[in-house]
Structure 1
């Protein structure tokens, strides 16, 4: 599906694409993520690929349009991945019609580059009854993304339908971002869709052990205390975890076909970051 020649891959979006949940203190912003793994898979199969990742955690569609669209187009990409809108869906008072209208504006601009465009639905994470009102919005968002992907001829990665993510091991402690295993699995699925041979292995057969009711109460309390309340607090203050961060790979880099981006990370200022803990 991808031409058998090196190209330029640009990743756009928020924490999903930045790599939050896949902690790696040796890489920019303290994370790795599926997009890095895809870039490395492309370069391993066909040396010469270049890669930039402009995604920053907590960004809404308006931020991605204002901050990432113009630089991405200027880089003349041949492959673009975009996940955007998930944070907008989670915001109180937002309307799906408005979210999808902005999303389509962004997609229409990216299509004009002539690059292969990859879009994603959003997984329906069942973390707690506290967040259940958001599920209906997420379903409507996914339906809209599917229609827009078909309208503009984009490749759709229907992440929402991947049954492997029913396994709790695929999720980070905050229950909203993928774990290392989750990022690896998504990278392998996307490379498969792009028909790029790769050696990424993933283990999804083993599920987390069954816990007692007492353990569940203790873990749920810890989750609310460590993740939910800080999230609500940030929303009330109008701050986000991405406010002080820059893109991980802001300019296209030539991905080494053997050691991958790990070889380049040491050359990037502040590549060792404490931002891998994203609470």
Structure 2
């Protein structure tokens, strides 16, 4: 929980917010009843709008996008929108590729961050998650840690806010993740949004670090069946796209390409 303390500076009331990124920022797998995705960035925008109801918000993020694609396609659009606040979270899809170089990715990321800061916008950067408990993805943990170190240095150099996902131990619980084990669950997205609010000084009444309720332990057979289901329904199709050069981004457009006031769905 974060509430203003006596003598604490009032939070800045941003008038416009643009989110850049991939599936994490697009909001998979946090669906609205109509099947569209919400996600932590939409949730953050809602929190921001409670402090400034006229907030205008755009979300340019598209699932499956690599860092270079985000920079080429989303960065110019974001600069044209002239927002007060930008969240820039990218590079995760690159890190998953065996040939990726976190040092080279960080150089690209810094150049884009400098462009955003040059517009006068405040910028929020998200580190990568700690993947030690995630099957398959734990093999890239060292690369994620290296990239994160660069991101923190970039944030320090360019005076950006950082949402440190790596340190969010609450996200190590399986309930923070959807069935595909790659995207956050609705509750996981809300935890990230609350953590971003704390970083930005936005008062919230919930605590992102609140422990999960006690859950009954799963037996070995149940866990193995869940692993087999995950491999069949999620990992094999994901691997197939990688091997065939297909992308989950094919045919997908940004869900909120223009700045507009929020209209909460039922």
Tell me, in whole angstroms, the C-alpha distance in 1 between the residues paired with 2:30 and 2:193.
Answer: 12
Q: Which residue of 1 is the match for residue 121 of structure 2? A: 115
* Match for residue 244 of structure 1 among 233, 243, 251: 251
Q: Which residue of 2 is the match for residue 190 of structure 1? A: 196
Q: Which residue of 1 is the match for residue 5 of structure 2? A: none
Is contact 1:184–1:201 with CA below 8 Å preserved after alignment?
no
Tell me, in whole angstroms, the C-alpha distance in 1 between the residues paired with 2:250 and 2:214.
Answer: 35
Q: Which residue of 1 is the match for residue 223 of structure 2? A: 216
* Match for residue 177 of structure 2 among 171, 179, 188: 171
The alignment status of 1:134 with 2:143, answered yes or no, reads: no
Is contact 2:25–2:89 with CA below 8 Å preserved after alignment?
yes
* Correspondences of 1:239-278 after superposition (within 5 Å): 239-255=246-262, 260-262=263-265
Q: Deviations over 1:232-268 (max 9, x none)?
A: 100011111111110010000112xxxx4327xxxxx
* Match for residue 16 of structure 1 among 11, 14, 24: 24
Q: Deviations over 1:188-231 (max 9, x none)?
A: 11112212223557664215431111111111111111111111
Is contact 2:17–2:85 with CA below 8 Å preserved after alignment?
yes
TM-score (norm 2): 0.91
Q: Which residue of 1 is the match for residue 76 of structure 2? A: 70
TM-score (norm 1): 0.87
Question: SS of the counterpart of 1:223?
Answer: helix
Query: CA 1:39–1:2 in structure 2 vs 1: closer, same or farther (change >3 Å)?
Result: farther
- Consecutive unaligned residues of structure 2, counting only runs of 5 or more, are 1-8
Displacement, 1:125? Answer: 2.4
Query: CA 1:261–1:199 in structure 2 vs 1: closer, same or farther (change >3 Å)?
Result: farther
Question: SS of the counterpart of 1:132?
Answer: helix
* Correspondences of 1:157-168 after superposition (within 5 Å): 157-168=163-174
- Report 1 or 2 for greater relative contact order, CA contacts < 8 Å, sequence distance ≥ 6: 1
Q: Tell me which stretches of 4 or more aligned residues in structure 1 moved more than 6 Å.
A: none
Answer with 165-174 or 124-133: which moved more: 124-133
Question: SS of the counterpart of 1:42?
Answer: helix
* Match for residue 154 of structure 1 among 151, 160, 165: 160
Question: SS of the counterpart of 1:12?
Answer: strand
Aligned residue-pair number? 257
Tell me, in whole angstroms, the C-alpha distance in 2 between the residues paired with 1:106 and 1:243.
Answer: 24
Displacement, 1:164? Answer: 0.9
Query: CA 1:128–1:16 in structure 2 vs 1: closer, same or farther (change >3 Å)?
Result: closer
Is contact 2:21–2:89 with CA below 8 Å preserved after alignment?
yes
Q: Which residue of 1 is the match for residue 6 of structure 2? A: none
